[in-house]
Amino acid sequence: MKALSKIFLALFAAVCLPGFFMPLTPAMTAAAAPVPELEWTLSARDVRPGDEVEVTVSLKNYADTAVLELLGLQVDVRPEAGKAEYITGSAKTLAAAAGSQDILSTTYKPESQTVIFLFLPTGKEGLPRTNTALFSFKVRADAAITSDTAFSLVCTRLAVIDADGNHLITVSDHPSVNIHTGEAVITLNGQAPAGAPYTDSVTVAFDKGTATIKKDGGPAVPIDSGYVISAGGQYEVTVTDAAGNTAVAFFAVDLPQKTVLGNVSGSGTLSITDARMILQYLVDKITLTAEQLELADVDGKNGVTVTDARYVLQRLVEKIDKFPVE
C-alpha cells in the first residue's frame, strides 16, 4: 500500500507540478534496470505544406523482462511550433491496462500544444508487457510554409515510475518530417530551359529529387544532376522530389547525330548512364532499339551481356582506352 501511495504521489506531482521530476544522478541510477525506450512510426517522412502525418508512439524494448516494469508513465510530445500543428481530436490511446480502474489516457493541452499520454495504475500491476503501441495522434504541416524545411516532434518528457516510487526522466529521440514546398528547379547550362533548340552540348542540373531523361520518346533513364547531352534530339527531363512534387522540362538539341560506341543513351558522351541502361536491358526493365543494341555490344561477342556494361565502366575510369571491337 505504501508503494502504491508513492506511485500516486509521484504521478500527481508530475502532472500538477511541472518542476517536480528531477533527473537522477549517475550514482543514483547505476544499479537501475534499463528504462523502456520509445519508438516512433510516422505515416510519412516527406510531405507538402498542409499534408497530414499520423504518428504512433510505441515501446521498443518493453517485452524484455530485464527492462524496468512500468508502474507509471507519462510521455509529452509536441510538434515544432510554427511548422506543424496538432489535428484536433486525433489523439488515441492504443495501450491496454491490467486493471479496469487504471488511469490510461491520451489528451491534448492547447496552452502548451502538447499531446500527453498518462498511465497510472490503481492496483499493484504495472503496464502489461504485451503492450507495444502506446498512443497515436495526427499533425498537419503548416500550409503557409513557402520554402523547403523540416519540423520535429519534440518529446518534452518521458517520465517513468518504478515499484519503489523512484521517478526517472530519459531523453527520447526527436523524429523529423521534411516539408517540400514545390517542384525541383531544372536548369540547362545554368539557365531556365529556353524555347529555342540548343546548338551546343547541354548540361542538365536540378536542385533536389531524382530525375529521368527520355530522348526522342524513348525509355525513361535515370540521370544525376550534371548530366551532359552532346547529341541532337528531342528531350524530356522529369524530376520528382521525396514528397511527389514533379517538374518537367522539354527541349530540343540541334546537333549533328554523333555515334559513340557504348553510348546507349544517345547523349553523345559515354557516361555511367550507358552502363546502367545495359544492365536494365538485361533484367528486362527497359527495351533497346536495334541501333542501341549494336552500340551496347562493345566486345562483339554473344550479343549484349553484363560484360559489355563492365567494359563501359572500365572505359569511364580509364582502365581501358578502347573497347575490344575497336
Element (H, E) at 205: strand 202-206
Domain ranges for the chain, please list them. 2-179, 186-316
CATH of the domain spanning 186-316: 1.10.1330.10
Question: Helix, strand or coil for residue 201?
Answer: coil
**Tens digit of pLDDT per residue, the chain (326 long)?**
444 444 444 444 444 434 433 343 333 343 467 778 889 999 999 999 999 999 999 988 888 888 888 888 899 999 999 999 999 999 999 998 877 778 899 999 999 899 999 998 887 788 888 888 999 999 999 999 999 999 999 988 888 877 666 677 666 678 999 999 988 999 999 999 988 999 999 999 999 999 999 999 888 989 999 999 988 899 999 999 999 999 999 999 998 777 889 999 888 889 999 999 999 999 999 999 888 999 999 999 889 999 999 999 999 999 999 999 88
318 Cβ contact partners less than 8 Å away, ≥ 6 residues apart: none
Kindly report whether the global pTM for this prediction surpasses the value 0.85: no
CATH of the domain spanning 2-179: 2.60.40.680
Q: Which cell is 218 given?
A: 524513348
User: Angle of helix 306-316 relative to helix 272-282, nearest 10 degrees?
Assistant: 170
